[in-house]
Amino acid sequence: MKSNTREAAGLIFNSRYTCAFTGAGISEESGIPTFRGEDGLWTKYDPELFDISYFTANPAESWKLLKKLFFETFAESRPNEAHYVLARLEQGGLIKALITQNIDNLHFEAGSRNIAEYHGNCRDLVCLRCRKLVRANDKIIGNLPPVCRCGGTLKPDIIFFGEEIPRKAALKAQKTVNKTDLMIIVGTTGEVYPASLLPIEANRRGAKIIEVNTSPSSYTNVITDIFLQGKASTTLKELEDEISILTG
């Protein structure tokens, strides 16, 4: 166990309003590639292909990539121990809210419920014409690009580069940041605006920061109080075990 895991458990046990902030690293052990770092998606694909202007100009081409990189990968992926630990901590009242940048729905599948999905979620598709939401399934993405009953093109209900953060998620995340006195950051480089500002804002308001990552991020030497270096699944399980000793 890392020397500072016990200290981190003590902070969680004594905090009033702990929240979690997660990125692609928490889903890496579920077989979902991260975006940055070696083997990251952005080493293989140009992020421009995930800009809303590219999607609206080339929906069929864009959908081919989205289906391969997201829908087919997500269909094979299941929550890992890290997702389950955060869900159990929420069920036990030790985590009050979770903000995720991920679109893979794994936090919901693991049992987390008070979730702000800051970049949306691949669970649904949204019509570019009538804005209707349609649940994603193999049939509907059988023909690309999928088309709404109204004739409009359907887009995954996720935030492309160049799009606004969903208003509901932004408000929910801001409420969490305003209330939290302890944020557990898991598996993010902290490089994508405006999501990356949330931990900084929480810290500015006085929240303590625990960070779980396999390597240092842009937060580590700036706002992180306790850095637990390691894979999210084993590190969060060790943290949960330490908390269980305190809760008895």
The token duo for 188 is: 């993010």
Q: How far is CA 238 from CA 21, 107, 142, 228, 244, in A?
A: 18, 19, 42, 10, 10
Site for ligand APR (CB under 6 A): which residue of 9, 12, 24, 115?
24
Q: Is 221 a binder of ligand APR (CB under 6 A)?
A: no
Q: Does 231 bind ligand APR (CB under 6 A)?
A: yes
CB atoms within 10 A of CB 182: 23
Q: Does 237 bind ligand APR (CB under 6 A)?
A: no
Span of 8-16, 27-35, 90-98, 139-147 interacting with ligand APR by CB under 6 A: 27-35
Choose between 7 and 51: whose C-beta lies nearer to ligand APR.
51
Residue 182 in tokens: 């302890």
- Minimum Å distance from CB 8 to ligand APR? 15
Write down how long the chain is: 248
Distances (CA, A) of 246 to 50, 138, 227, 241: 45, 46, 20, 9
6, 36, 179, 237: residue in contact with ligand APR (rule CB under 6 A):
36
Binding segment toward ligand APR, per CB under 6 A, in 105-113, 129-137, 185-193, 197-205: 185-193
Question: CB count, 10 Å around CB of 164?
Answer: 9
**Considering 2, 67, 96, 119, which one is annotated as catalytic?**
119
Q: What CA–CA distance (Å, rounded) separates 77 from 58?
A: 28
Applying CB under 6 A, among 18, 34, 203, 224 the residue interacting with ligand APR is 34
Q: Which residues bind ligand APR (CB under 6 A)?
A: 23-25, 28-29, 34-37, 40, 101, 119, 187-189, 191-192, 212-215, 217, 231-232
